[in-house]
Amino acid sequence: MTTNPPFLEIKGLKKEYVAGKPILKGIDLTISEPGIIAIIGPSGTGKSTLIRCINRLIDSTEGQIIFDESDVCQAKGTLLRQLRRQVGMVFQEYNLVERLSVIENVLTGRLGYMSSWQAWRRNFSQNDINTAFELLDAVGLSDHAKNRADSLSGGQRQRVGIARAVMQHPKILLADEPTSSLDPKTAAEIMELLAKFSRQKHIPALVNMHDVSLARKFAKRIIGMAEGVIVYDGDADGITDEILKQIYGGEEWLN
């Protein structure tokens, strides 16, 4: 067997919301190892845009995103759906369907593998139902399976969000500011959970975050972005004050 191809390869990715004002100015990124990879950088620098380009919630302007031997940027229709279902995504605002039960929210992670007709009949396979309950157990919410999602607290909702993403059997996890709406303790628990699943499933988890110390604690590799380009890509230990200055600008905040 030859060496494994990378999980994800981004080449020369550019995105302009307004023509002539690029927010991503040519991103090159290769992800070939499992585990948490943190993306840090100031607000408005294109971290969310980058994450959302990977599963095409946002269409990129230029460049290639090679995932599962296909270019996500060119994919359409069924192929795009088949790529998307292998990419689990966790959102800052959890984005659960509030009026559905917790267990049904987890099961929606399987919709990419079902037809609309099966979805309407709630025709989930026994295997999927078992997995959903196991995942709920793994995130510590078995008691809430039948409750409505809007009865949960923020941290609990994010656990459901993670369970839904893992339910897809993804080959990569994306998380867009998954801890920014949570208190520090819950934030650490959520990161712990992401780390656990990426270890267990042997997949990378690309996580956008604000909190540098949290990134240092959980990520082996950190990507620093500033003004639409990658300014640092390397070991978490290599993040020095000098580099932080380069990423965020200024230095008063460091002390």
Binding site residues, other proteins, CB under 8 A: 55, 57, 80-87, 89, 91, 93-100, 104, 108-117, 119-120, 161, 164, 168
Output the smallest distance, CB 170 to other proteins, in A: 9
Tokens of 224: 């620093």
Output the smallest distance, CB 72 to other proteins, in A: 12
Output the smallest distance, CB 165 to other proteins, in A: 8
Task: Give the nearer residue to other proteins in terms of CB position, either 144 or 164.
Answer: 164
Using CA atoms of 237, 238, 240, 242 in order, give the dihedral in degrees to the nearest 10.
-170
Rounded CA separation 201/138 (Å): 13
Task: Give the nearer residue to other proteins in terms of CB position, either 23 or 96.
Answer: 96
Output the smallest distance, CB 174 to other proteins, in A: 8
- Report how far apart the first and last C-alpha atoms of the chain are (Å, whole number): 50
Task: Give the nearer residue to other proteins in terms of CB position, either 104 or 211.
Answer: 104
Is the CB of residue 221 less than 8 Å from the CB of residue 234?
yes
Task: Give the nearer residue to other proteins in terms of CB position, either 94 or 232.
Answer: 94
Beta pairing, strands 8-18 & 21-31: antiparallel
Annotate 130-139 with b (16+ C-beta within 10 A) or e (fewer): ebbeebbebb
Output the smallest distance, CB 25 to other proteins, in A: 25
Rounded CA separation 3/144 (Å): 43
Is the CB of residue 172 less than 8 Å from the CB of residue 88?
yes
Q: Percentages helix, strand, coil for the chain, rounded to the nearest 5?
A: 40, 25, 35
Residue in 8, 10, 3 with CA at minimum distance from that of residue 225 = 10
Task: Give the nearer residue to other proteins in terms of CB position, either 57 or 229.
Answer: 57
Output the smallest distance, CB 137 to other proteins, in A: 21
Task: Give the nearer residue to other proteins in terms of CB position, either 144 or 221.
Answer: 144
Beta pairing, strands 8-18 & 62-67: antiparallel
